[in-house]
Structure 1
């Protein structure tokens, strides 16, 4: 028997492709490798795939630092052929399930998952939402010697296993495997698998898991680098100012690193010329404000007051300015009282009391009177006491006018902080005033944002937004800000650890819908389904968030997703960390404080969705 006959059909096809080189000393064929022109090569064929994958999931193979040829053969399957194969496969799976049930055996989870996937695929094929492809994925590793080749094959195999790919060496078919990975469009191994359009698109070689950087020539481009991409070798940089709107929502459980990521966003936005206003419930931003020359206003501290009835100076040209302030006062007083004024008679009494308080201060609908000092909350309470329908509300406001909580409202506004970074600290406020204080600060910020004479990019951060979302009036105010922020070149960034409460209300869902940027960190299992539905996540992405380490986050923006790790420089980490271990170490060893490294520096890992059987 001739040598060509011994090679079999695959060898004959390979010899046809490589031509006379098969019989030259430059080509040596062994069971586990081939040697071509002095370079050794071994081919691995992929026989198993993960069930859930992210966009660009083959990027780690394409970015392998050694010489690795990745060949992906695609052949469209006719619709009639694909439908017939799918029916047969569904029949086999369902028959196996029924036989197992009749024999009293436990259900096989892999068969159940495959049957469900096959049923879903059949429905999408029937509706014309997908097509089928016959695919074959092959990896050829190259090295200068047989020993080096064996080591490289082990490394590539380990990398493939980390992606939940099952690979096998093409033993005794290395020549056919080597020829299959040449740019000749010939699949001589025929280790194929059927995939649908979505699966093929996710692994397409020109698709990357990285978020594309904005055009540097575009005016106003301000990308913020968040950290290394966990699904590729790149970094994740995002420009919120290039989106449909500039709002963002950060959802995470306690201790997942949401405040750490938010501070990274703030400090790097400042470097892009963005003016930042932060509502800080726990006084976490004070070191950052001190380091960058920002200003801080501590509500609840002695002598610090904000008058909710102030008229903004820049709105003097608005004929409805006084009416708008009275409407805000309705919202603020409802939040202060703990519940909205539902009684129409009570609302009318409150409206009359507000008009009377402004009239007593000499302010009317005439713009010439708007420069006069605004009335105080005590004036409104006195007007309410003069009306029988308003006396109950006046009693509810008494603690904030004459009682123990009067410090924030018992005088005119002391100061309106300005600057490139303004921190409004709520730590000194009692719990009963947190929601009202947050609303009051948001109003003060908005008066600066809506000033047409000082229009610029501004980022308004509301940390622990659940404090305000728990009150209906405050939640409605946030929704209005989220919808109007873009008109004034501002972005509203909401940060909360109560994902379920936010998504369980109409206002919360409206805020999510008006946020072009979503940053998701580790999620609680009870809220995972709601977050998945609201953000359009896949099962694999949801599983990654449930198992995420502190600092791991998923960016969802403009149809692009990227799993990354929030990472700060040593100096940034020193300013933004609240880790008690780091703070105690710095207090004990102040000389080495500058040497403290980033808190999030663990090794990166690729997205690893669950494995499953092939539905076809």
Structure 2
């Protein structure tokens, strides 16, 4: 041991050791800037300064430090009476300093002004019982195998703390007290505390994490999807929509924010989990993906592609109300096709008579034995309307869709029954006048598969550019019914839209949001941000993050949990799902995707990318 001075104090820089019996290694060795214990070197840093404003889980970078680092926070509540008295004295000192500076003609000190305003605000919240004061001490103990490695680790931790706007100092000559303070003993022997209110303590609490808990992969029916790295931590964001109370989702973003990229990544990685996916694709963006994974691409509006809205589903022919339900859908479909202004009682009655007459003309009645016969066509309904004096106006409005330029989609029975693990309904070839009606017709065809009791399995129904359907009242009501009924058929409805107004400006749109347990929010327009913030219960910080988000940056909200992540795909996935004009124009990108897809079995499911293909 070092030899003490006569006054009982040790010389500066000397080492103190606690030793056991002769021949044993010292249990604890103290140095001015470190201590050695259990074969490790340790050094404690105390936090002396904090940033002016912090966000939730702002200490996460320290907790995720790759080396061995102990983070200790000591909280001591301050009695309200003592806190109020201290605040009065502090406000008095600050106000006195401001008045003396003004009397002397000096410029105002911005730091003093900010401190005075904060003290006044805190005093008001303390008086109203909205906050309490705490004495907070934050300490960091760094461990390493030897002295040189410890010095490097301490420098890295100090640099990380400075990046968080923390002021830290080594606990020189108090390393034993610092190390003891960082142990789980509840004793603060350093006493380097700072006064904080309840909100600051909650944001600084070191056990708060911005990560959403990873889904349990061993849960029965688990199908978690990895989306990308968390932008607030070093973790990843993985979410299992099938573990929520319902399986629906909403994706809302401005044009170019990356919503289609994220949705296609979700579709592709859902296919890895054995989930059947049906996509309503207004711009044929999903066609390369369907071609590569052996899916089905049905291009509505292309020559020879037809869907008959009056078909009777084969799996529902045991339902005695099948014909009635089909006629109700026909009313909704024709109201969407013709637009508003033609739903008066006289027109609805004439249309109902025409539907009954059209079914009767082909031998279909309320007798279930007749439901196997071919269904009538739109031209048959128009013929029945022309024979009814009250329906002749509607027959004239249907002429473009039966005998005119828009007859291609309805001019004959259904040509192809969509089937497979990925079915993409392309709407790009449809004229604008048929977009909403075509989307509704596709959703009805998808619902026939979803509601088939003979083939119950998990299905994801993706409606891209959902604003096309939400803009029509009849289509919005149908979409709402689908959102409410999807869960009991083991299906999830994923709506993707760039028009927040159509979704938030109607009662049906708000109800659809209420029936979606998963929300994906990407970059938002400043004009729509207040409505989005109110509808989704976002904080000011989350709203600011969405206004400044880069393409692919996404806020995932599921229940009370939130996480900000960046959608990240492997090179192979990126080639399949990107719509960036520069990337799509490169023949090598699509060529590589096509060559890889050619090696896939036509009817098989796509394999997950290997570890070498993954970026993250």
**Greater relative contact order: 1 or 2 (C-alpha under 8 angstroms, separation 6 or more)?**
1
Following the alignment from structure 1 to structure 2, what is the Cα–Cα distance between the partners of residues 414 and 284?
23
After superposition, the Cα gap between the structure-2 partners of 1:202 and 1:111, relative to the gap in structure 1 and judged at 3 Å, is closer
Structure 2 partner of 1:125: 129
Aligned residue pairs, count = 583
Q: Is the 8 A contact 2:298 2:424 kept in 1?
A: yes
Q: Report the equivalent of 2:364.
A: 363
Query: Comparing 188-197 with 258-267, which one deviates more in the overlay?
Result: 188-197
Alpha-carbon distance in 2 for matches of 1:145, 1:69: 17
Query: Aligned with 1:180: secondary structure?
Result: helix
Q: Which moved more, 1:84-93 or 1:460-469?
A: 84-93
Where do residues 21-40 of structure 1 align in structure 2 (5 Å cutoff)?
Answer: 26-29=29-32, 33-36=33-36, 39=41
In 2, the alpha carbon distance for the partners of 1:363 and 1:91 equals 89
* TM-superposed deviation, 1:316: 1.2
User: Would the alpha carbon gap of residues 50 and 266 (structure 1) be closer, same or farther in structure 2, given more than 3 Å must change?
Assistant: farther
Equivalent residue runs for 1:85-124 within 5 Å = 110=114, 114=118, 118=122, 121-122=125-126
8 Å contact from structure 1 (residues 44, 139) kept in 2 = yes
Residue of structure 2 equivalent to 1:319 = 320
Distance of 2:275 and 2:51 partners within structure 1: 45
**What are the within-5 Å matches in structure 2 for residues 85-234 of structure 1?**
110=114, 114=118, 118=122, 121-122=125-126, 125-126=129-130, 132-143=133-144, 148-149=149-150, 151-162=152-163, 164-170=164-170, 174-175=174-175, 176-195=177-196, 199-234=200-235
5+ residue gaps in structure 2? Answer: 21-25, 597-608
- Does 153-162 or 285-294 show the bigger shift? 153-162
**Conservation of the 8 A alpha-carbon contact between 1:256 and 1:551:** yes
The 5 Å alignment of 1:409-558 reads: 409-558=410-559
Check 1:418–1:42 CA distance in 2 against 1; reply closer, same or farther (3 A cut).
same
Contact 1:332 / 1:439 at 8 angstroms: preserved in 2? yes
Alignment correspondent of 1:575: 576
Classify the secondary structure of the residue corresponding to 2:461. strand
Q: Distance in 2 between matches of 1:231 and 1:485?
A: 33
The aligned residue for residue 306 of structure 2 is 305
1:539-577 Cα deviation digits (max 9, x unpaired): 222222222221221211132222222111221112111
Cα 1:602/1:317, change in 2 over 3 Å: closer
Q: 1:455 to 1:400 in 2, by over 3 A?
A: same
Counterparts in 2 of 1:281 and 1:592: CA distance versus 1, 3 Å: closer
Equivalence for 1:51: 53
Residues of 1 paired with 2:316 and 2:475: CA distance? 23
Residue 72 of structure 2 is matched in structure 1 by 71
* Structure 1 residues 287 and 371, CA gap change in structure 2 (3 angstroms): same
TM score, norm. by length of structure 1: 0.84
Unaligned runs of 5+ in 1: 8-14, 605-616
Q: State yes or no: 1:251 paired with 2:255.
A: no
Q: What is residue 563 of structure 1 aligned with on the other side?
A: 564
Assess if the C-alpha contact under 8 Å between 2:87 and 2:119 holds in 1: no
Question: Cα gap change, 1:546/1:487 in structure 2, threshold over 3 Å: closer, same or farther?
Answer: same
Task: Report the TM-score, using the length of structure 2 for normalisation.
Answer: 0.84
Counterpart CA distance in 2 for 1:301 and 1:313 is 26
Task: Judge conservation of contact 1:86–1:122 (CA < 8 Å) in 2.
Answer: no
Contact 2:84–2:123 under 8 Å retained in 1: no
1:141 and 1:303 map into 2 onto residues whose CA distance is 71
Partners of 1:93 and 1:115 within 8 A in 2: no
Match of 1:318, SS?
coil
Q: Distance in 2 between matches of 1:509 and 1:92?
A: 52
Instruction: Please tell me whether the aligned partners of residues 131 and 196 of structure 1 are also in contact (alpha carbons under 8 angstroms).
Output: yes
Q: CA separation of 1:133/1:105 partners in 2, compared to 1, >3 Å: closer, same or farther?
A: closer
Once the two structures are superposed, what CA deviation does each residue of 1:99-135 show, in whole Å capped at 9, x if it has no partner?
9999998999956984796388448735xxx655432
- For the Cα contact (< 8 Å) 1:528–1:542, is it kept in 2? yes
Q: Is the 8 A contact 2:288 2:576 kept in 1?
A: yes
Query: 1:73-100: per-residue Cα shift (whole Å, max 9, x none)?
Result: 1123345545666677789999999999
Contact 2:222-2:243 at 8 Å conserved across structures = yes
1:270 and 1:276 in contact (8 A); partners too: yes
CA distance in 1, matches of 2:343, 2:117: 52
More helix by share: 1
Contact 2:50 2:166 (8 Å CA) reproduced: yes
In structure 1, what is the Cα distance between the partners aligned to 2:97 and 2:274?
Answer: 64
CA distance in 1, matches of 2:274, 2:467: 29
- Structure 2: distance between partners of 1:513 and 1:589: 39
Deviation of 1:491 after TM superposition, in Å, equals: 0.1
State the Cα RMSD in Å.
Answer: 3.8
The 10-residue stretch of structure 1 (353-362 or 130-139) with the greater mean CA deviation from structure 2: 130-139
